[in-house]
Each structure stands twice: as structure tokens, then as C-alpha cells.
Amino acid sequence: MSTETTPATTKVAFLGLGHMGGPMAANLVRAGYEVLAYDPAPAAREQARADGATVVDAAAAATAEADLVITMLPNGRIVLDVYADVLSAAKPGTLFVDCSTIDVADAKQAAHLAVAAGHRALDAPVSGGVGGATAGTLTFMVGGPAEDFAAALPVLEVMGGKVVHCGGAGVGQAAKICNNMMLGISMIGLSEAIVLGEKLGLTHDKFYDVVSTASGQCWSLTSYCPVPGPVPTSPANNDYRPGFATALMTKDLGLAANALRDNGVEGRFGLLAAEIYDRFNRSAGDKDFSAIVTDIRNRSHRSSSEG
């Protein structure tokens, strides 16, 4: 790959054109990059073609032509399968950038496989959701060698508003799951406090008035309040339409729980948060993760009437 990563010098393969990958690839096309796109889903391929990407019939065909390969896939198993499929087709030194949210261990394994095959690799998971993917304002958390980060930066900046080099291989995924583990724990803690306040006669408005400037203040309350009213833009005001779906929070907490166990961390709140969201996810449908407050409220009513 040329040392300069510009639309004129860089062909990008984009594998995985779903809710996130589709609009991210479209932003690269708009910025002037030639994008070779692949997804097994016909509707995703159709949309990518309409967005101006060159759609190909196989991941390896896209990769063979590319200088930089971006993957945006559902899970680590699929990322590793795709890498096994495409690494031998790529030109030596191709830069692989995996933007999927996957296990830290899988991210390290993917980077190891790419490097062993003579390529370069970064993990670059994102936050910002479909809105950020569409607007090109995602936050990228990147793990891998500094020179590879520098090479990928112009491409990532097209899709992101903030790009942070977090450390070596897997450390981008580490930043993502650490943040989301804190978010899951804080949303549960806040929701328990709100329901306790309800039982004790504290209105949501008064709760917000006090806690938003007291030591219990947190992002879950002041930007994403899980009950309607105090923060008009929060999903609670829109029947908990995401936002950040419960299924995605459950997935990320599962990854955090794996990492806690793998690394022998005494992470009881993280493990419990994963368990609580896993249970809620079975009945949550497509609700935003902040709807956990409704589950806590329902279960509290049940246990007090049963008990």
C-alpha cells in the first residue's frame, strides 16, 4: 500500500454492509474512495450498489484488489472465518481494519492471522450507532501498531468524528467493552435508584433536579434519562425506541464478561450486569437498553405483591 492513504491511492474493500457497514461504506464512496463491497445479503448488496460501491460476488474477490480491507461483521467467529477465507487472496502488506465489536481474544487472533499471512492489522470498533455511521461522526477506538494507525487514519476520519489510538492489538476492543460495561452497570444502578425513589415518594423531576448536580450524576441520567420527562431527547420519551438496542448492550456485556473471566478480574458488577441484561433481552424485543428500568419496576411490583 502507498504510504499516503488518499482516495487516489487507496482501494478499499468493505465486507459486511449491514446497519453500520452500509452507511460507512457509502461515506467512503462520497469521499471519493473506490469501494469494493461484499455482503451475502442481496438487499445489502443492492443498497451498496445504489450508494455507488462496486459490488462483487465474493469477499476474496474484493480483498484481492484492495489496499485496505474493512470488516463490519456480526461477531468474532464470522470475522475469523472471513479472515481465513480472504487473507491468502490479499496483496502482501494489505491493511486489515476490523470495525466489528468482538471478543478481545478474537481481535488479537484476527490480527495475529493477518500478520502471519504477511499483512497488517488493526482492531477499530466504533460507538455512535447507526446515526453516527450515517452522519460520519462515529468514534473509533483503535488497537494495533502506530504506523498502521497512521496509515488508516485518513480513511477512518471519513467515517468518524473522533479516532483514538488506544494501544496494541485488541486494545481498541478493550476500550469499547470497558466503556460499555460501565454504561450497563450505571444504567442498572440508576434504574434501581429511580424505582426505589418511586416507592419512597420521590418524583422523577425532583430525583433529576437533585441527582443531576449531586455525586450520583452520570451520563445515563443527564444525557439518556431512562424515564420520560427530564431529558426530552432520551429514548424513554419515544417508547424506548433505540437508541442503543438491548440486544447490542447484551452482546457487549457478554464480551466484557468473557474478558473479565479470561483476565481473572474481580468484576462482580460487570458479570451481574451481563446476567441482568441477558435475562431482560429475552423479552425486550427491539427496546432501547434504558428500558431496563421498566423491567426493574415490573419485577419489583411482582416481588412485593408476591412476597
16: amino acid identity, one letter:
G
Is residue 254 a contact residue for ligand NAD (CB under 6 A)? no
Over the chain, what HEC string results? CCCCCCCCCCEEEEECCCCCHHHHHHHHHHCCCEEEEECCCHHHHHHHHHCCCEECCCHHHHHHHCCEEEECCCCHHHHHHHHHHHHHHCCCCCEEEECCCCCHHHHHHHHHHHHHCCCEEEECCEECHHHHHHHCCEEEEEECCHHHHHHHHHHHHHHEEEEEEEECCCHHHHHHHHHHHHHHHHHHHHHHHHHHHHHCCCCHHHHHHHHCCCCCCCHHHHCCCCCCCCCCCCHHHHCCCCCCEHHHHHHHHHHHHHHHHHCCCCCHHHHHHHHHHHHHHCCCCCCEHHHHHHHHHHHHHHHHHHC
Q: Smallest distance, Å, CB 93 to ligand NAD?
A: 22
Candidate ranges 19-27, 149-157, 272-280, 293-301; the one touching ligand NAD (CB under 6 A): 19-27
Candidate ranges 123-131, 144-152, 157-165, 263-271; the one touching ligand NAD (CB under 6 A): 123-131
Candidate list 10, 11, 16, 257; residue touching ligand NAD; CB under 6 A: 16
Q: Smallest distance, Å, CB 139 to ligand NAD?
A: 10
Q: Smallest distance, Å, CB 298 to ligand NAD?
A: 26
State which of positions 283-302 bind ligand NAD (CB under 6 A): none
Q: Smallest distance, Å, CB 42 to ligand NAD?
A: 10
State which of positions 33-72 bind ligand NAD (CB under 6 A): 38-41, 44, 59, 72
User: Could you say which of 176, 206, 251, 287 is catalytic?
Assistant: 176
Task: State in Å, rounded, how far the first CA of the chain is from the last one.
Answer: 67
Residue nearest ligand NAD by beta-carbon distance: 18
176 belongs to the catalytic site: yes
Candidate list 12, 13, 15, 97; residue touching ligand NAD; CB under 6 A: 15
Is residue 93 a contact residue for ligand NAD (CB under 6 A)? no
Closer to ligand NAD by CB, 181 or 296: give it: 181
Total residues at interface with ligand NAD (CB under 6 A): 26
Closer to ligand NAD by CB, 156 or 195: give it: 156
Over 8-27, what HEC string results? CCCEEEEECCCCCHHHHHHH
Is residue 84 a contact residue for ligand NAD (CB under 6 A)? no
Candidate ranges 12-20, 144-152, 257-265, 299-307; the one touching ligand NAD (CB under 6 A): 12-20
Is residue 211 a contact residue for ligand NAD (CB under 6 A)? no
- What are the backbone dihedrals phi and psi of residue 91, each rounded to the nearest 5 degrees, phi first? -65, 145
By CB under 6 A, name the binding residues for ligand NAD.
Answer: 15-21, 38-41, 44, 59, 72-74, 78, 82, 100-101, 126-127, 129-130, 248, 251
Which residues belong to the active site?
176
